[in-house]
Amino acid sequence: MSRPRKILLYLVIPPVLFAAAIALVLFFYLQFHKTPEMDLTSRGFSLSTIEINEGESLRFVNQSNVTQMLCLGQNNVCYTDAVAPKILKTPGVQLKPGAAIDVVFEQYGTYVITSSNVKGVNLKITVDAGG
């Protein structure tokens, strides 16, 4: 085998194949991995509990005809000492009818979300530690 063919075989082809494999993995990940979605109605969330991984986001979609004020808390009471995620700290985030918001949960633990202006809207989120 000639020297140029050896160089091509041993130095060029393996990195090209490796880059193609990485591109395929990224493509399939982006095609099939979707952010979990939590629908919000005037009666409550579509689920009462959900489990996600640390660093993952959760999409809240307001399917009701009422503006909701989502915050960390329970039974329409926002916890004033809650610190994360920042967007849900008191007074919370306003979510108009038909609107959606993605909230990233960067720290593991258990979070309780409520709507401060609509009764019966409570959600328990368990965030599992990554790694």
Clarify whether residues 16 and 63 are in a common domain. no
Nearest Cα residue to 41 out of 59, 58, 65, 57: 65
Tell me the pTM: 0.74
Regarding whether 83 and 22 lie in a shared domain, the answer is: no
Residue 69 domain boundaries: 37-128
**Whether residue 28 sits in one domain with residue 79:** no
Q: Are 67 and 48 in contact (CB under 8 A)?
A: no
Same domain, 94 and 115: yes
Q: Are 43 and 106 within one domain? A: yes
Q: What is the structure's pLDDT at 103?
A: 95
Using the Cα atoms of residue 94, residue 66, residue 97 and residue 105 in order, give the sign of their dihedral. positive
Note whether 126 and 74 are within 8 A (CB): no
Report how many domains make up the chain. Answer: 2
Q: Which is higher by pLDDT, 90 or 7?
A: 90
Q: Is 64 left (phi over 0), alpha (psi -120 to 50) or beta?
A: beta
For residue 12, pLDDT beyond 90 = no
Which CATH number do you get for residue 105? 2.60.40.420
What is the tens place of the pLDDT at every residue in 55-79? 999 999 999 999 999 999 999 999 9
Q: Do 61 and 82 fall within a single domain? A: yes
* Whether residue 85 is found in the same domain as residue 98: yes
Q: Answer yes or no: do 28 and 44 share one domain.
A: no
HSE of 16, CA atoms in CB hemisphere, 13 A: 6
Reply yes or no on whether the pLDDT at 122 is more than 90: yes
∠ CA 110-130-88, nearest 5°, is 40
User: Of 61 and 118, which is predicted with more confidence?
Assistant: 61
pLDDT value at residue 65: 93
The mean pLDDT of the chain is: 90
